[in-house]
Structure 1
């Protein structure tokens, strides 16, 4: 929803997340990519970074902002909307990480979000008029 709103406002770029040929292995590769991205992002940007910033004496608000802004910055290739959406996700995930003290539930959530985006785009781009790139 946020992506579509940002795209409609011109704040987001049209991103084709699935530039793979139409072979039997395309969906398993997209699922593996989603899982890999989730593990790397949540373990490093959420777990590791927040733990180290806590050890340096940073406040919760300051470390949450740093983590969320870092997350948003490496999604700038998606446009301003991708940046903003990922900053919001970063703030929510930081809150949940601090509440639960675990990254694994957030790795699973991130994996599911990416699978829906990647696999959904693969099946829907070109078949529905409301999706950018169709």
Structure 2
């Protein structure tokens, strides 16, 4: 089995199915997720996908964890600092996009009541808060999405060493990731896609996974924490 075929097969097994299912389900969804769904599904599908990706990376792609996810130079504390820096960039973009992109492309979809219901439930239940802010946020959301992003990048980069191909892959990956968030509206999908381009280029240059996971978890977590405090007050 050739290297190219192994990498393409890995993408078809670990990345495309779950992303296409997410896009299809969100576009055809008629019922909101319950709070338990919002906690269990990320842990089961996100956590399970992380395990699948790691197994495919080792046994199908035949790369070590370091080769695929952490081949760049650096230390854990540098990764933490860079993760904090990317988080700041995310929030700068957040406020710029609210003043521009979200004004130019208003979202006519109904409010995301499932998210609001989950936040209300967490605001009054400390156990739900702990479960969501530790395993769900860090494993089921941040680790899953960043591991998937990097695995897709690396598998496609492994097909061809040409730098133009690598840059093309960055944009293709970001389009796919933006599309999986289309339920947030066109502006939301574009916003997610733009942030993906930024972190993909970061990984292209520095090849370190941890800053991506940290920034993703902090960006989502801070927004959730703000909303929870709002409902508690």
Return the TM-score normalized by structure 2: 0.48
2:175 is the counterpart of 1:69: yes
More helix by share: 2
1:95-118 superposed Cα distances (whole Å, 9 cap, x missing partner): 111121111111000000010122
Residue 106 of structure 2: aligned partner: 10
The CA RMSD over aligned residues, in Å, is: 2.5
Residue 109 of structure 1: aligned partner: 215
Residue 143 of structure 2: aligned partner: 39
Q: 2:155 is matched with which residue: 35, 46, 52?
A: 52
Q: Secondary structure at the match of 1:11?
A: coil
1:65-106 superposed Cα distances (whole Å, 9 cap, x missing partner): 111111101111111121011001100010111121111111
Cα distance change of structure 1 residues 12 and 104 upon mapping to structure 2, 3 Å threshold? farther
Residues in 1 aligned to 2:104 and 2:126: alpha-carbon distance in whole angstroms: 33
Q: 1:19 is matched with which residue: 108, 117, 120?
A: 117
* Runs of 5+ consecutive residues of structure 1 not aligned to the other structure: 128-134
* Runs of 5+ consecutive residues of structure 2 not aligned to the other structure: 1-94
Residue 132 of structure 1: aligned partner: none
Residues in 2 aligned to 1:103 and 1:114: alpha-carbon distance in whole angstroms: 17
- Greater than 4 Å deviation, 4+ residue runs: none
Cα distance change of structure 1 residues 81 and 29 upon mapping to structure 2, 3 Å threshold? farther
Return the TM-score normalized by structure 1: 0.80
Distance apart, 1:11 and its partner CA: 3.0
Give the alignment of 1:78-89 within 5 angstroms.
78-89=184-195
Residue 131 of structure 1: aligned partner: none
Structure whose CA Rg is larger: 2
